[in-house]
Structure 1
Amino acid sequence: MVLPIENPVKSFWIEGAKSPLRDFRSTPELPKEALDVIIIGSGYAGATMAYWLNKFARDGETPSMLMLEARDVCGGATGRNGGQLRPHFYSRYPPWSERFGADGALKLIQHEVAHIPAFDKLFQDEGIAEKVCFKKGETFDAAMTQEAWDRLRGAYDMMQKDHGVDGDVIRECRLIEDPKEAEEFTQMKGCLAAVVHPTGQVWPYKFVHALLQIVLDTGNLNLQAHTPALTVSERDADGLITVTTPRGSVKAKTCRWTSHLLPEFTKLIHASRGTIAAIKAPEGFIKHTGAQHWDSVVNNYHLQLPPPFNSIILGGAKAVVIHKPETFVNNDQEDIQFEGVPEFYAGWPARDVIGWKGEDPAPFEGTVEEGGVWTGVMSSSIDAFPFVGPVPDKTGHYVASGFTGHGMPRILGSTAHIAPLVLSSLGVPFETPAAAAIFPPLPEPFHVTAERIKTLQQLEPKEKHKLAMEASLESAKKPFAKQPSLPLAMSALAISA
């Protein structure tokens, strides 16, 4: 079993939030009595699982819950992501339709798109939209090369052809094909064209902590930071599951947990590492969230936080990291920075953004060492889709993992799917809350089935990693990957399987 690295680099999301729940323990000791549910992990998946169990359950019948976190609360991937609630409206349509057909691809997209109104409804109901910096708006995919535009426009055209110009998703997208208009809308120097669609953004760490506080206030959740789960048993003769930790053991009727404790998922979910920065900027400088695309590998993505924060959150830096793909493919070294990435981020505003009048290099929110630039680890699935639902042949065990760096428009709907299953298993009556009712059924590729696990276990992860590194090194040879501000003593490296 692999536990998270103990001393990750600092993240602006975490440091800037200054949450009182960061190292929170509801009680000095672990509960002695058996609980209804144990949730392992306090990030987006764990927090929304606790929230939905509380919201679905009828008044007074919320199950007793214990949440175990190996590090500080929400100190993992959710506390280090990009903050973009950015569904794939069209860009993944070609590979998804090839695998699952036109209707199957559309269902995947509709599930993601439903997250925008569902987040909006949840935040309205709880009154926390401003607290968590939630904002709806438009986002863009900016084509920085003809190669990128051919890919983006091709995906848009294929989806429109299959579902019509008035399809319920494609009609929300629009094209900007004039380079001058594209540059003006995106604020990106050299943008050739763009696809625009709805989006949302949020401070993910504040979002998770706000949900946890809501559930903690009910008295139904015991939260324990710095308490890693070491083992999880099968159900015993009394119908209880035992979870062991360095601080003792606890028992529960059911367990919602992450994949590092499930041996059948060892080859199916692996780590990958990304990088993000928080850059000081004038209020309202960035008009729309967006992404720059040079090819299918090299990109940046960004948003700007509302006042009083105003920071630009910038991620990607693929033009740098692709020269050493072993630093991010199947890699969990979130205790170190990527070589050359802070310099790349510092030069991005003046180099790429129209009208930037800030300093160059741009000042970060805090120093690089104090959270201005950070890395984070994503759990990547071998077939690019998460594992959501009851674990086959393990009664009382549920999983939500492997979101492959795209969890923001997937997890809330996934845990809304699991919550009534857990409550039913406990015999707790429930009603679907309004925000959860917005979601369509969970897409079939997300479901955990014995057949899916068996099929995927036949694949070789090293081969998948090798292909990913080869693709990165091919992109590294292209002109746009040779940024003049970078220390390009980085040459194509031999790939080690």
Structure 2
Amino acid sequence: MVLPVDNPTKSYWIEAAKSSLRNFRSTVELPKETDVVIVGSGYTGATTAYWLHRFTERNHRQPCMLMLEARDICGGATGRNGGQLRPHAYSRYPKWSERFGPDGALEVIKHEMAHLSAFKELLNEEGIAEEACLKLGETFDAAMSEKAWTRLKHAYEIMLKDHGKEGDVIRDCRIIEDPQAAKSFTQMKGCIGAVVHAAGQVWPYKFVHALLRIVMEKARLNLQANTAVVAVSERDDNGWITVKTPRGDVRTRTVVHATNRWASHLLPEFGNLIFGGRGTLASIKALEGFIKHTGAQHWDHVVNNYHIQLPPPYNAIIVGGGKSLLVHDPHSYILNDSEDQQFVGIPEFYQSWPAADIIDWPGEIPTKLNRCVNEGGCWSGVMSSSIDEFPFIGAVPNNDGHFLAAGFTGHGMPRILLSTASIAPLILDSTGMKFTQPALVATYPPLPKPFKLTMRRLKQLQQVDAKAKYEAAVENDLESAKEAFCNDLRSRPKSS
């Protein structure tokens, strides 16, 4: 049995939000029966519930939904991520076009880019854009080494060559080759060039809690915090699936597995397909509006930092990455679920980051975190890694009534919203309910082929040597650890 740790480090997103839904339970007892059980209350679970509501809001009867969360509501990856709504607009294009061809690569990119307008449309329609701190604009990939600049520039140029300047996505990308202009735009010391594209940012925890509040008000959602699912059955001859929890059993027609890294807890066939990995972030005190654009610094294909700044009254800079320090011990984050622990030396790394990396930073040295280290100033979080780097979206093969949306590989923000919209009709079909596609999703791209959960994909990936991939990832990161940019004063390993 694999479940998240009981006492994770405290995230700024969660602590500063002070949501009344944090440990919410709609009812004292669990219902005995329901139409749909959604396991997991993060971004995936919340948007699944939202779409089930929107697809059936014209019906005389909407589905009864029960959402079960092992810890507090949205206390997992969504409550611990970087807040960047940042598609891979070009950077993965060479790799994806080699695998799927130019059009196949573009299919994935368009699906990710569509999340920008989808977020804007949904949050404005529901009146929660300001509450969730949604902001759309431009982001950058800043090259901090010649190695990084060669990679980023190559990716941009290959995409430009294949699709031309008039392509739907490439119009939203541009390159800054002059180092001074790149420094000015990115505000990053040492930047030698940058690629810029459309992106956004959001307070992920507030977004999820707002959606859940809306669904509970308008539909039939029973929300239950601190209720781990310990087992699920197959569908019996009468069409029922039994969901077992320490608080009692529930019969349901369908189960949606929205647990990302934890999917194999209930679906063991994904044990070698979806893995855990630990990341880290911090919240830094800053002057209002100091950071002009969200962005990421790149030294090579492993070592990076990334950041956003929240709007007033919060103004905090959320910074993550810290890979120049972490790569010295890959075992501390690869296949590691210890989100109850801080990385040794990482709070000090983040405190040194603004003055060391941002041009004209006015703060003190070391910079102050927005909160005490263990009270939301710095935190760890577990994200998933998929063995082929793409999520698994769809009906679980040979498991009638079970649906999965998981394996987002630390890149769920520009993938999940429209992915869960694509499985809502499948879930409702499984319950025998009629539905109408809402106008909100009618114009958006379909689910990309690499995301689809099929028996063929499952069988092929189960033959991959997962241990060898893990060992290669460790060796790859240790190679980065030898680089000069991983051996400055702040990046050298710290003893515990």
Please state which band the TM-score falls in when normalised by the shorter chain: over 0.9
CA contact (8 A) 1:114 1:438 kept: no
Matched residue, 1:42: 41
CA contact (8 A) 2:285 2:315 kept: yes
Cα distance in 1 between the residues matched to 2:440 and 2:317: 29
Kindly report the root-mean-square deviation, in angstroms, between the aligned alpha carbons of the 2 structures: 1.0
Matched residue, 2:302: 297
CA contact (8 A) 2:36 2:252 kept: yes
User: What displacement does 1:483 show?
Assistant: 2.5
The answer to whether structure 1 residue 387 and structure 2 residue 386 are counterparts is no
Q: Which runs of 4+ in 1 moved over 4 A?
A: none
Cα distance in 1 between the residues matched to 2:235 and 2:429: 17
Spell out the pairing of 1:243-282 with structure 2 (5 A cutoff).
Answer: 243-257=243-257, 258=259, 259=263, 260-282=265-287
CA contact (8 A) 2:345 2:493 kept: no
Spell out the pairing of 1:391-470 with structure 2 (5 A cutoff).
Answer: 391-470=396-475
Match 2:316 to one of 295, 311, 319: 311
CA contact (8 A) 1:51 1:212 kept: yes
The answer to whether structure 1 residue 113 and structure 2 residue 118 are counterparts is no
Partner of 1:106: helix, strand, or coil? helix
Matched residue, 1:356: 361
Cα distance in 1 between the residues matched to 2:104 and 2:27: 46
Matched residue, 1:72: 72
Matched residue, 1:211: 211
Cα 1:335–1:165 shift into 2, 3 Å: same
Cα distance in 2 between the residues matched to 1:488 and 1:62: 55
Cα distance in 1 between the residues matched to 2:411 and 2:279: 12
User: What displacement does 1:444 show?
Assistant: 0.7
Cα distance in 1 between the residues matched to 2:151 and 2:455: 35
Matched residue, 1:169: 169
Match 1:370 to one of 353, 372, 375: 375
Question: What TM-score comes out, normalization by structure 1 length?
Answer: 0.97
Cα distance in 2 between the residues matched to 1:368 and 1:278: 9
User: What displacement does 1:431 show?
Assistant: 2.0
Matched residue, 1:493: none
Percent identity over the alignment?
63
Matched residue, 1:129: 129
CA contact (8 A) 2:148 2:300 kept: yes
Matched residue, 2:56: 57
Spell out the pairing of 1:172-211 with structure 2 (5 A cutoff).
Answer: 172-211=172-211
Matched residue, 2:98: 98
CA contact (8 A) 2:344 2:494 kept: no
User: What displacement does 1:489 show?
Assistant: 5.8
Cα distance in 2 between the residues matched to 1:438 and 1:284: 34
Cα distance in 1 between the residues matched to 2:366 and 2:166: 45
User: What displacement does 1:487 show?
Assistant: 4.6
Cα distance in 1 between the residues matched to 2:406 and 2:357: 35
Larger deviation, residues 422-431 vs 46-55? 422-431
User: What displacement does 1:219 show?
Assistant: 4.7
Cα 1:243–1:475 shift into 2, 3 Å: same
Cα distance in 2 between the residues matched to 1:28 and 1:458: 45
Matched residue, 1:322: 327
Partner of 2:337: helix, strand, or coil? coil
Match 1:337 to one of 338, 342, 349: 342
Cα distance in 2 between the residues matched to 1:486 and 1:432: 51
Partner of 2:313: helix, strand, or coil? coil
| Aligned amino acid, residue 139 of structure 1 | T
| Structure 2 residues not aligned, in runs of 5+ | none
The answer to whether structure 1 residue 346 and structure 2 residue 357 are counterparts is no
User: What displacement does 1:269 show?
Assistant: 0.6
Partner of 2:472: helix, strand, or coil? helix
CA contact (8 A) 1:58 1:429 kept: no
Cα distance in 1 between the residues matched to 2:170 and 2:443: 19
Residues 305-331 of structure 1 show CA distances to partners (whole Å, capped at 9, x for unaligned) of 000000000000000000000000111
Matched residue, 2:5: 5
Cα distance in 2 between the residues matched to 1:414 and 1:348: 35
The answer to whether structure 1 residue 230 and structure 2 residue 237 are counterparts is no
Partner of 1:448: helix, strand, or coil? coil
Cα distance in 2 between the residues matched to 1:361 and 1:432: 52
Residues 180-208 of structure 1 show CA distances to partners (whole Å, capped at 9, x for unaligned) of 00000000001101000010100000000
| Structure 1 residues not aligned, in runs of 5+ | 491-497
Cα distance in 1 between the residues matched to 2:489 and 2:399: 54
Residues 41-95 of structure 1 show CA distances to partners (whole Å, capped at 9, x for unaligned) of 0000000000000011132432000000000000000000000000000000011
Larger deviation, residues 448-457 vs 109-118? 448-457
